[in-house]
Structures are given as C-alpha cells and as structure tokens.
Amino acid sequence: MKRAIVSVWDKQGVVEFARGLVDLGYEILSTGGTERVLREAGIPVAAVSSVIGFPEILGGRVKTLHPVILGGILARRDDPAQMKQLEELDITPVDLVAVNLYPFEETISRQGVTLEEALENIDIGGPTMVRAAAKNFPSVTVVVDPVDYGWVLEKMRDGTLGAEDRRRLAAKAFARVSAYDRTIANYLGASAEGWPEELVLPLQKVQDLRYGENPHQSAAFYRVGEERGVAALTQLHGKELSYNNYLDVDGALGLVLEFSEPAAVIVKHNNPCGVGVAENLVDAYTKALATDPVSAFGGIVAVNRPVDEALANKLRELFLEVVVAPSFDQAALSVLTRKKNLRLLVVPDVEKRRPHTDWEVKSVWGGLLVQEFDELAQEDDSGYRVVTKRQPTEQEWRALRFAWAVTRWVKSNAIVFAGEDRTLGIGAGQMSRVDSVHLAAWKAGNANLDLKGSVLGSDAFFPFRDGVDAAAEAGATAIIQPGGSVRDEEVIQAADEHGMAMVFTGRRHFRH
C-alpha cells in the first residue's frame, strides 16, 4: 500500500483529495486539525504520532520531525542500500506529501498582531516535509496548493502523472517555501530599527498579460503574499485585464475607498478625472462625470456600493474600459454584459485591501525604491492650522476635506478645485504648480463648471504666490495645502489680500 501524508492549514478541497487518494489505494497519515476533519468525513486516516510511536509535543510544535517521516520521504527508490535501510528500520516509504503552511502572511497583516502571535504562526514541520518531498520529486509527489488537487488526482487515476509533473510540483513547492521564508525575514527585519539590510519580495505570478504599457513590451502580473487588493479581484465579464488596466484599477480603488458615503471615481491614465459623492451612486457618478466628460471616455469607474440597474444604464451610455464595485445585481449585469469587452470587476473585502504593513515598490534601473504606503487615514486633521485672517466656513471645511482626499491620488504637481461633494477641475502632472492651477481652471471651464465659491487642494506647498493669485482669479475662496515653503508668508499674504481662507495640513502628498 502506498503512503501519503496530508497535513494542511487551508482545508479547501482536502476531504475530496484524501478520498480520491484512498480510492487509489493510499494509506493516509495526518496530524491535528486535518486528521480530525478527515475522520469526521469518514475517511480512514492514521495519526502520525501512532505511526512514529511518539506523541506530539510542545503544544504541537513538534509533530512530524522524525526519521520515520523524513526517512520515508527522502529515501531514494533507485538506491538499493537506502531502500534496504528503510526495511531494516521498518520505515514505510512516503509517496505523496500534501502540505500547506501556517498562515504567517495572514497573521502579520492583521492590525495589532503581537510578536508572540507572529512567531507561533511560523511553520517548521510543514516546510521541512515540503522541502524533503520536493528534493525527492523523482519518486515523491508534493502538493502545496489546493488548486492542484484536481489535476493531480486525475492524472494519478489514469496513470499519467509523470516525472515532469512531479518536477513542476516540486518547483512550485520550493517557490512557496522560499516565499514563506522571505516573508518571515522581512517581518523580523522590519521589527528592528529602520529598514532591513536585505529585503526580498515573495512574488507569485497571477497571470501573463497581453503586453505592457505598449504592445512591444511583454508583461506579467505578480502578487505579493496572500491574495488581497487588486490581486484578489474577481472578473465577472469582459476582456482580460491589461498592464495599464491594473495600474488604473489600483488607483481608482484607492481613491474611492477614501469615502464612507456613496462615491464614484473615474480614472484615466492613473489620474482621477472626476470624483463625486452623493446619497446614491447615480448622483455620485453624474457629478464625477461632469468634471471632465471628455477625458472620461475610455476610463475606469470605481464605486463603493453595489451597482444596480439605474447606475448600469448610466454607465452604459459611455465607452468605459472597466467598472469596479463591491458587487453587481443581476439586472445591472444584464445591462452591462451587453458590452462584450467591458471588464466588470468585484472588489474584495475592503479590510483586506491595504494592510498596515504594506509597502510601495517602484523600479529604477538597477534596483527598487521601497517606501511605506502613504496612508491618509493616519492623518489627524486636528493638527491642521488655519493660517489666514479668515476661517473657513463649515461648507468650505467639508469641501476642503473632500479636495484633500482627492488630491493625494492625483499626479504631482496636483491641483484639485472642488465643492463639498464633487471635483470641479483637476490639474495633474505639470512641471510647475501654477501651470496645474491654470490647467485645472481651464478643464473646469471646458466642462462648463463654475469655480466661483470653490475650494482648492494642493498636494505640496505653493513656492510662489502666483498659484494663489490664479486660484483666486478662477473663483476659489479657500485653499488646503501642506505649507512649508520659504515663501509661506508671501503666500498667506496673497490669500489674505483675496479674502481667502487657507489651511496648512503639515503633510505633503506627492504622487509620482
């Protein structure tokens, strides 16, 4: 009888897989929770402790680290001396190892996790068995991903599971253990003062892409650690996502999740071209679209509430690349799926989107730049200072906070004219701040939007008063910006001359 060790944290599909192995004549050895699940499902299973003649010890820290287990996995079947030694020691060879690991990545992504909790979720026995089985792949099948249970069983049933299949599974196993160890190393390194001396990223390919930013560039999408954020999106309809789609979806999601009320965001080339909030999504989208209906053509829409038929009918009026939402009702799907290429994406659990441990990584020639994520939610607006003679009105305060939330997601030099519930003009990516002000004002005029009584958000300080003068001329009555220029007094004086209110946040939000 062949022997399999099945010991998994992620129980997805394990009962069906173990049942299939038993049908193929395998003896199943297991531990802890997996053993219990299999027994309750009526599957014959032997406890590892009963086979090795030694109980689990140290609260389960040691279960499988034993010569009977590791010897059975590592013995070379083509070496008569090794096989004779197994026989002398009464060790049965292990032919299959199905193991996945303690959820270390998931554990450290939780807010407030302690070092003790993290350490208890570092798997030792699992990676050891996986590495042993992968090393001996000419004779042993190793399965670390529930996704592989189905095809492995199918090939075992028809006798076609060959050395190349086991080699592929072994490569995947080593990659999984390597990624696991890299995550632990990053976590422990980051616990010390400053950044770790060595930083390794556990990357796993999600899919090949048709091409990169341009058709002559090849590209692929990799996720870091567990599935979350853009890597956990579910596509319901439409063409496959492109490199540029992924970038735009990430920016659209980040911005729409800044708002608790119903919100709609339209993104084009990784810049918002319209944002609106309202009591319902139809009104929020209408406000967002009004900011820049020309640029919205071919854009990406993200909303933070389920899409219903009313919104779907509005979305269908414009050519869009992608719509991202928490869900789509059936009527909305019936409307939107008439556009065969429109990509419809469901956003995962918001809490899993941006863990506090997240980093941002950008490539440069010969290396990577790594930084903490710029989290607006960590900003305490009680530290904001009104620096002008005039205080903002309550309506202006609401508009200023709205503008500030949007500004962080606009490419620098970022300027956002806004009301309390919508953007009115956005200037992005200009080489001078005053040019961004003029561009945003021109955009508003082009969309027939009146900037009289609007507010303005600026991601960084005004180096000269000319930006403030241009904002006042366009109709803005209040400005929110970080402050910190050597000409702050000159800028404040300009605001006072125009009767404007100005708020310094003390924090810059460049986005390159």
Cα 507 from Cα 377, distance rounded (Å): 12
From the list 115, 122, 123, the residue with the least C-alpha distance to 192 is 115
Residue appearing with tokens 């950044």:
195
> Is the preceding omega at residue 413 within 30 degrees of 0, hence cis?
yes
Residue appearing with tokens 């406000």:
287
Terminal alpha carbon distance of the chain: 61
Cα 384 from Cα 401, distance rounded (Å): 11
Question: Which residues are known to be catalytic?
Answer: 135, 269
Strands 46-47 and 26-30 turn out to be: parallel
From the list 33, 39, 48, the residue with the least C-alpha distance to 18 is 39
Q: Are 452 and 474 in contact (CB under 8 A)?
A: no
The pair of structure tokens assigned to 353 is: 């989107």
> What are the DSSP calls for 420-467, one per residue?
SSBEEEEE-S-SSHHHHHHHHHHHHHHTT---TT-EEEESS--SSTHH
Cα 484 from Cα 461, distance rounded (Å): 6
Q: Are 307 and 329 in contact (CB under 8 A)?
A: yes
Cα 512 from Cα 360, distance rounded (Å): 12
Cα 166 from Cα 159, distance rounded (Å): 13
Cα 454 from Cα 208, distance rounded (Å): 45
Strands 501-504 and 385-386 turn out to be: antiparallel
Residue appearing with tokens 């050895």:
29
Sign of CA dihedral 86, 92, 95, 99: negative
Q: What are the angstrom distances between the C-alpha of 108 and each of 169, 210, 327, 340? A: 27, 34, 28, 40
Q: Are 251 and 272 in contact (CB under 8 A)?
A: yes
Cα 486 from Cα 502, distance rounded (Å): 16
User: What is the identity of the amino acid at 238?
Assistant: G
